[in-house]
Structure 1
Amino acid sequence: MPIQLSETEISSRAISLPAFPKIVNEIIQTLDDDNATLGALAHLVETDPVLTARIVSIANSAAMGGRNAGGLRNVHAAISLIGLARVRELALAVSLAEFAKKSQMSAYFWEHSVAVAITAQELGRFTHVASDHALVAGLLHDIGQLWMARFYPLEFQMVRTARDTGNENIIDIERHHFGLDHCQIGAVLARQWWLPESVIAAIAGHHDPSQAMHERLVPLIHVAEMFSNALDLTSRQDNQVARLSEAACAAIGFDWEQDLNRLFGKIEARTEYACRVFR
């Protein structure tokens, strides 16, 4: 018998998930703070020993062209070398990767999330509608599926099977089995975690951007996911490409007549590197 989920159940059960990283919200706040300094970001990162070790390791690897010589010893040196924006991106990605690990997400789930996040960043730069929140929205766009898999694993597997063996849209399948889809569930979680409204809207609308086309992050994440699937960035055999909204492409100013080789090449290279690092 189909389940009829409510926002109350989603919120109450979410308490059983691993704690959402507090540092993610703190780093997001620095995105909107023009006075944010290297020292303030370093202080945030240093409160988490695991995050500190990962940031320094990745910075060393980048500094030595992949040959980790261990020359850098602290976050201050890492930031000085690779810059505030890059360390901020790494801190967000590493923190959310640890959250994914504790939540027992599958490797594919996380790699797909990374691929969408990177695609959104590069697509935003390409179309000149770059958003500082694109990375977070991309990494968390499918977070509702984590909730489904965690609390209703049998029904979640039924959804996957129906998607893989039929022609029905995954959103329709989820609504049949759960009463809600993963976009709606994800938006409830994002709101409970006090994420920015633009991120909440992007999670809610990444399959149907028409509901909030005025919020530029919504069409950006939608197009990013379609492109990441079309480029087969995670090399998944049952990867499916849903319908791309032409209105979303127009909303972000995407022009099919432009030379896209450099854009797609950069997306593929960055995704391959990021997935290798976090693997």
Structure 2
Amino acid sequence: MGRDIEQRILKEIKDLPPFSAIANRALKLTKDPRSSAIDISRVISYDPAFTARVLRMANSAYYGFARKVTTVSEAIVILGYETLKSVVLALTLQNFYDKEVRGYGLERGDLWKHSVGCALASRLIAGQVKYPSIEEAFVAGLLHDVGKVILNQFVGEEISKIIELSGSEGLPFAEAEKRVLGFDHQDIGSKVAEKWNFNEKVVEAIRSHHKPDRAKKDPELTAIVHVADFICLSLGLGIGSDGMLYPLKKEALDLLKLDELEIDNLIFSAYNITEEIEKILA
């Protein structure tokens, strides 16, 4: 049964979520190695509301620039092309994430705030541990729970069984999902990310963020997302019905060479980020 459900979900999912034409084009450009900053700037400029959201994020205290960014072209110069791609990706996915995810006990906006928080925390951790691509960490953090949106949408009847099993046996949702469906939100999220043409390291981080010891291609990236997820849940960002059932894995901390004091400092820094999230997403 699990395999049939999984194949049905993947068959029904289109190549990209239902974005506006402008957002859809911008997202495709962020994943096209032949695209340039000028290409993205030109596309975004056709949508004043989307442009305003990009500039609001570029001007947030998180990025810490001394002067106000007033144009997308200026944002490209100040933020850099890779960071701009991350910002565009985040804003493009907002409508996809920004909905009630009832099966996981998440009100409208909760999962979106958690996902953006995890993206920003992943970027923060990546910088501290000197991971070579902080923007890749941002993307993996942003997408890590995409499978929850998908499962909530496509397996309504089974979700009630998962909730019951998780509650009666005190299981993390991922384990209850696995028992009922034969796969979990990590599995389906990674398949969706593959379908959306994200690279294999990001796909692996999505597939293994609750069990970072499973990562083989880039264990460091998966560990970063795992720790960022824990930090966001500790701060109350999108806890839902299962958030506190996922412990912080010691092997992830060992891999990143983070001790308890450094985790406390990261939580403090991430707390300051949460104040920015409301402004960014307004």
* TM-score category of the 2 structures, normalised to the smaller one: 0.7 to 0.9
CA offset digits 1:214-237 (Å, max 9, x no partner): 512112111221222123345768
Structure-2 change in CA distance of 1:29 and 1:124 (3 Å): farther
2:226 counterpart of 1:222: yes
Residue equivalent to 1:39: 38
Structure-2 separation of matches of 1:147 and 1:180? 13
CA offset digits 1:141-168 (Å, max 9, x no partner): 1111111111122322443454356411
Structure-2 separation of matches of 1:51 and 1:270? 22
Residue equivalent to 2:7: 8
Structure-2 separation of matches of 1:212 and 1:239? 21
Structure-2 separation of matches of 1:76 and 1:262? 34
Structure-2 change in CA distance of 1:61 and 1:223 (3 Å): closer
2:215 counterpart of 1:212: yes
Unmatched 5+ stretches in structure 2: 102-107
Secondary structure, aligned partner of 1:228: helix
Q: Which amino acid aligns with 1:9?
A: R
2:263 counterpart of 1:264: no
2:52 counterpart of 1:53: yes
> What's the % identity of the aligned pairs?
26
Residue equivalent to 2:152: 149
| 1:165-180 to 2 correspondences below 5 Å | 166-180=169-183
Q: Is the contact made by 2:97 and 2:112 (CA closer than 8 Å) also made in structure 1?
A: yes
Return 136-145 or 205-214, whichever deviates more.
205-214
2:197 counterpart of 1:194: yes
Q: Is the contact made by 2:172 and 2:242 (CA closer than 8 Å) also made in structure 1?
A: no
2:251 counterpart of 1:247: yes
Name the TM-score, length of structure 1 as normaliser. 0.79
Return 207-216 or 237-246, whichever deviates more.
237-246
Secondary structure, aligned partner of 2:93: helix
Of residues 110, 113, 117, the one that matches 1:111 is 113
Structure-1 separation of matches of 2:230 and 2:14? 31
Unmatched 5+ stretches in structure 1: none
Residue equivalent to 1:100: 97
Return 233-242 or 205-214, whichever deviates more.
233-242
Structure-2 change in CA distance of 1:82 and 1:194 (3 Å): closer
Structure-1 separation of matches of 2:143 and 2:118? 9
Measured on the aligned residues, the alpha-carbon RMSD in Å equals 3.3
Structure-2 separation of matches of 1:45 and 1:182? 32
Q: Which amino acid aligns with 2:244?
A: Q
Structure-2 change in CA distance of 1:46 and 1:158 (3 Å): farther
Count residues in correspondence.
265
Name the TM-score, length of structure 2 as normaliser. 0.78
Structure-2 separation of matches of 1:232 and 1:219? 20
